[in-house]
Structure 1
Amino acid sequence: MFRFVIRNIAKFILLMVAVSLVTFVLVSVSPIDPVQANVGQAAYVNMSEAKRAQLAEYWGVNTPLWERYANWFGDLLHGDLGTSLRFNAPVADVIATRAVNSLALMATAWVVSGVLGFGLGILAGANRGRPIDRIVKGYCFLLASVPTFWLGLVFLIVFSVWLGWFPFGFSVPIGVSAADVTLADALHHLALPALTLSVVGVANIALHTREKTIDVLESDYVRFARTRGLSTWGALRHHGLRNLALPALTLQFASISEIFGGSVLVEQVFSYPGLGQAAVTAGLGGDVALLAGIALFSAAFVFGGNLIANVLYGVVDPRMRKGAKAHA
């Protein structure tokens, strides 16, 4: 256990350093001029050279990459993520504000996609070769090939423009102060983006659960239960759910990176003010401090999901624990 903890702490530290360094390098080689991108083309053309130089110094355009990274990393060791030049606020405050919306969106989509995928997988596996099985497989194969942003646009046209059931975007009603926003308003704006993200995430868990259900139904202990008079669903309920639930839950935790990546596209389509939208804004504006902070947060989030998945793998399959001990 001690080696496991130390090894994962070392991996986490190396991951944070690598992610932050790659972020700074990518921003430095980007063709985007932060000054021009943030003041606009017309204002930049009419701006004096002195003013351009002042803004370039403010954005750190002429500061060498390694100096900028060293200054930022030194502040990070003291708990300071820097200041977002695009939002004119501390990076930690911007991330804290936007993370609430993103985590609500991803958590809702994660739970809905997991429950729906698990249910559809069991339904398809228990009815192998029947029409319902072919429908579920076709649905999953179709969704696996559909881009998230395209599905979001379709949902926006159908449910917001044609039917008028949901708002066109944002996380709160336009023109309403934060104090007057109710929980019902927030959930109404969250529903369609979460539905888009959850529908896309159903395919993997459903197909995996279907194959696992087929394996369970063909196992000796389920066949023995069937000979005792239990129905297919009774045998699954009493003898197969644990063998189905743990692998599905493990796969669901491993898919956190996909949920996070999909949320970036969904937030852009629905103008939902989360971390994904802030990352795009920071990238297009050359706000390296904010982009690095969001990259670190997202990397830590995905690392945590993968770590939980690895632990659950050992719970599901004891052979992995024995192999890890033998390797150690």
Structure 2
Amino acid sequence: MLETEKIAGFVGKKILRLISLLIVVCFVSFMLIQFSPIDPVRAYIGEMPVSAEHKAKLEEYWGVNTPPQERFLNWAGDALKGNFGTSLIYRMPVSNVIKERFTASLALMGASWLFSGILGFVLGIIAGMKKGTWTDKVIKTYCYVLAATPTFWLALILLMVFSVYLGWFPIGLSVPIGVTAENVTFFDWLLRLILPALTLSLLGVAQIALFTREKLIEVLSSDYVLFAKARGEKGLDLVLRHGIRNVALPAITLQFLGFSELFGGAVLVEQVFSYPGIGQAAVAAGLRSDVPLLLGIVIISACFVFFGNLIADILYQFVDPRIKQREASI
């Protein structure tokens, strides 16, 4: 009962921080858009000639002549009622646009997050077991190279090699052009997801692999592992029995803390592969000053990153028994 109350209090404080964070982030984002040199009307019509009357109607529709503080307060009042407004680009409710785009992005980020976590953990375990050998050096070099590789550059390389030159995968989009939703097969969707997910996965491997390697080396040099070796335990059995279970939780915690990097990488990957996700919608909203859509995406992305960090904090504070023992001894 006491533990439950402690968790509830911890989560309550985090939610209050989230609310204050959302207020500040939305206000700052709104003001940045207001001071942007981009004219939403000109961005919308492009080079197409329009009459002064038509342009005036568009300015009224965009609220260009409304004072910024009034526009923000009107939007905030509607947002508290669950109405995030209508997207000026897509001409549909912002909630519908976010639901459609964020679902596609979740599939991309979820597959990348899972694959990078598993691959990074396995590589980290292998490198830790083979410390100082050529295997360890190869894995570390691989991770250092990936850590220094720009997301968009790797995406372009994979796109050119596997889509343009080899023709193994489609160049972009999430479904074939001209095919209705009911006729899109799982294979069609999966084929277009592989390269974007692979790009994010390869970049996400480095951090978790290097962290797991260092943690495993630290565990294998501890007193209780040395005692286990003295009893005759060795090799993979020693790592499975004493290493992995002590390294897995910190690795999972770090993986949840990487939600912000995952989301930021997804924005660049979606642009390169023309993947219709939340990142591509955010770029379009920024370039065309679609304030309702951009603020809605800001809220969703902030909540996404926040809950990833919240899960990591809960795992770190309440699941790891070593943290509890340390707090009890103080």
Q: TM-score range by the shorter chain?
A: over 0.9
Q: Which residue of 2 aligns with 1:219?
A: 222
Q: Which residue of 1 aligns with 2:33?
A: 27
Check the 8 A contact 1:226/1:232 in 2, yes or no.
no
Give the distance between the partners of 1:135 and 1:190, measured in 2 at CA: 28
Q: Which residue of 2 aligns with 1:262?
A: 265
Check the 8 A contact 1:95/1:275 in 2, yes or no.
yes
Farther-moved stretch of structure 1 (293-302 vs 229-238): 229-238
Distance 1:209 1:176, change over 3 A: same
TM-score w.r.t. the length of structure 2 is 0.95
Q: Which residue of 1 aligns with 2:15?
A: 9
The equivalent position to 1:83 in structure 2, one of 81, 86, 90, is 86
Q: Which residue of 1 aligns with 2:3?
A: none
- Superimposed CA distance per residue, residues 130-186 of structure 1 (whole angstroms, 9 cap, x where no aligned partner): 001000000000000100000000000111111111110100112211110011111
Is 1:63 the counterpart of 2:36? The answer is no
Q: How does 1:80-119 map to 2 (within 5 A)?
A: 80-119=83-122
The equivalent position to 1:36 in structure 2, one of 42, 51, 71, is 42
Structure 1 gaps of 5+ residues are none
Q: Which residue of 2 aligns with 1:162?
A: 165
Check the 8 A contact 1:171/1:272 in 2, yes or no.
yes
Secondary structure of 2:168 counterpart: coil
Check the 8 A contact 1:105/1:193 in 2, yes or no.
yes
Distance 1:23 1:230, change over 3 A: same
Is 1:316 the counterpart of 2:300? The answer is no
- Superimposed CA distance per residue, residues 260-283 of structure 1 (whole angstroms, 9 cap, x where no aligned partner): 000000000000000000000000
Q: Which residue of 2 aligns with 1:51?
A: 54
Secondary structure of 1:89 counterpart: coil
The equivalent position to 1:283 in structure 2, one of 279, 283, 286, is 286
Cα offset, 1:324, TM superposition:
11
Give the distance between the partners of 1:123 and 1:36, measured in 2 at CA: 56
Structure 2 gaps of 5+ residues are 1-5
Distance 1:274 1:301, change over 3 A: same
The CA RMSD measured in Å over matched residues stands at 1.6
Give the distance between the partners of 2:269 and 2:169, measured in 1 at CA: 15
Farther-moved stretch of structure 1 (252-261 vs 6-15): 6-15
Give the distance between the partners of 1:289 and 1:71, measured in 2 at CA: 11
Cα offset, 1:232, TM superposition:
2.2
Provide runs of 4+ in structure 1 moved above 3 Å: 317-326
Q: How does 1:120-199 map to 2 (within 5 A)?
A: 120-199=123-202
Give the distance between the partners of 1:156 and 1:278, measured in 2 at CA: 21
Is 1:205 the counterpart of 2:208? The answer is yes
Residue identity opposite 1:71 in structure 2: N
Check the 8 A contact 1:169/1:189 in 2, yes or no.
yes
Name the % identity. 56
Check the 8 A contact 1:37/1:285 in 2, yes or no.
yes
Secondary structure of 1:165 counterpart: coil
Cα offset, 1:319, TM superposition:
3.6
Give the distance between the partners of 2:54 and 2:194, measured in 1 at CA: 46
Q: How does 1:230-245 map to 2 (within 5 A)?
A: 230-245=233-248
Residue identity opposite 1:181 in structure 2: V
TM-score w.r.t. the length of structure 1 is 0.95
Is 1:18 the counterpart of 2:21? The answer is no
Check the 8 A contact 1:108/1:194 in 2, yes or no.
yes
Q: Which residue of 1 aligns with 2:232?
A: 229
- Superimposed CA distance per residue, residues 83-132 of structure 1 (whole angstroms, 9 cap, x where no aligned partner): 00100000000000011110000000000000000000010011011001
Secondary structure of 2:274 counterpart: coil
State how many pairs are aligned.
Answer: 323
Distance 1:91 1:325, change over 3 A: farther
